[in-house]
Amino acid sequence: MIVQALRTPIGTAGMSLGSASAADLAAPVIDAVAAGLGEHAAAVREVVLGNCMGPGGNLARVAALQAGLPVTVPGLTVDRQCGSGLAAIVQAASTARDEAGLVLAGGVESPSTAPWRCWPPAPGGEPTRYTRAPFAPAETGDPDMGPAADALAADFAVSRARQDDYAARSHARAVATQRAGGFTAEIVPVAGVDRDERPRERFTAERLARLRPAFGAGGTVTAGNSCGINDGAAVVAVADAGSHRRMGVPALRILATATAGVDPNRPGLGIVPATRTALGRAGLTLDDMDVIEFNEAFAGQVLACCTALHLDPERVCPEGGALALGHPWGASGAVLVVRLFTQLLRGGGGRYGLAAIAVGGGQGVALVVEACA
């Protein structure tokens, strides 16, 4: 049972949250979630955080201590690349099924403060900086996400115009939600920032159409129909059913989760098998879902997944997604769950929800929830 869900504002790397480390982002959200549990915070027995590019070590432990949790609460940091935040929640759900109590789970990313990493030099050589770890062995195929998104859009004949239209709609929805205060209840201010930085009112399809392809002259993926590089954190509190009954608060029941693998050369398709498996385990279909949150890494990628799933793209991210809000890698999967919590519980937007995210290296993670008292 997910009984609390909060996040930081999402900032553009190097901008509003640029001076905050990963622990600086995660700690205030952990603290706020724990505070929202009231007397039940004493039942928190672990913190699990996803992270991709942080300083290394056990970031979850550092952030938990920085948040002021008791030293008796251990921490675990997980890395499933872009799926890390959702994978942390899946791990927390597994723990809650076996043991009574609460687990705080989510993810965090601070590209602004991520350390520079280098391969050891060859004898007589110099260290060589690398910007990301390998997603897959080179002989299997290890494309960067942008070129892979271009290839996926081509595979599914997703036109440039459709991608720009989708991206413009994501921004328009996020701007409308922001103006209506739809994000306010889920955001924990950090470093004086209390609103998402990226949504743009003027990102119309006509304006986006002027941008050049980002990954080759023949491509359709641009900076405008892709997510940004972003800082942010998100944390939820996961309780076993007995603890939830004692708390007596509205919650999201986790009905099913799934993690799947696909061809590393088409990593964006990971959403598809993960979604199918999670829905099958829940005994539900896409038609049953009231809110669907896919991580919008690239418009073409989301549209390709919708085609494969026979899903109307209009149903995805009804209040705007990562194209508008941003994609703080290790946190993004957890942000999806915070968005479900707000729309299904705070906003009374229905009964069932689905969150799914694709992962570099060819993986996908999905989670199906039900709103309940």
Active site positions, annotated: 82, 327
Residue type (1 letter), 47: V
Closest CA to 202 of 238, 241, 183, 175: 175
For the chain, state the CA radius of gyration: 19
Closest CA to 294 of 311, 165, 346, 112: 311
Main-chain dihedrals φ then ψ at residue 12, nearest 5 degrees: -75, 135
Using the structure block, give the residue that is written with the tokens 């892709």.
Answer: 226
> What residue ranges in the chain does DSSP mark as E strands?
2-7, 11-12, 44-50, 75-78, 102-109, 117-119, 128-130, 230-239, 251-261, 291-294, 352-359, 363-372
Backbone dihedral region of 324: left (phi > 0), alpha (psi from -120 to 50 degrees) or beta? alpha
Chain center to CA of 252: 17
Contact between 62 and 91 under an 8 Å Cβ cutoff? The reply is no
Which tokens is 87 given? 């994978």
Using alpha carbons only, what angle is made at residue 237 by residues 40 and 187, rounded to the nearest 5 degrees? 110
Closest CA to 73 of 50, 49, 107: 49
Alpha-carbon dihedral sign for residues 306, 280, 356, 143: negative
Using alpha carbons only, what angle is made at residue 224 by residues 140 and 79, rounded to the nearest 5 degrees? 40
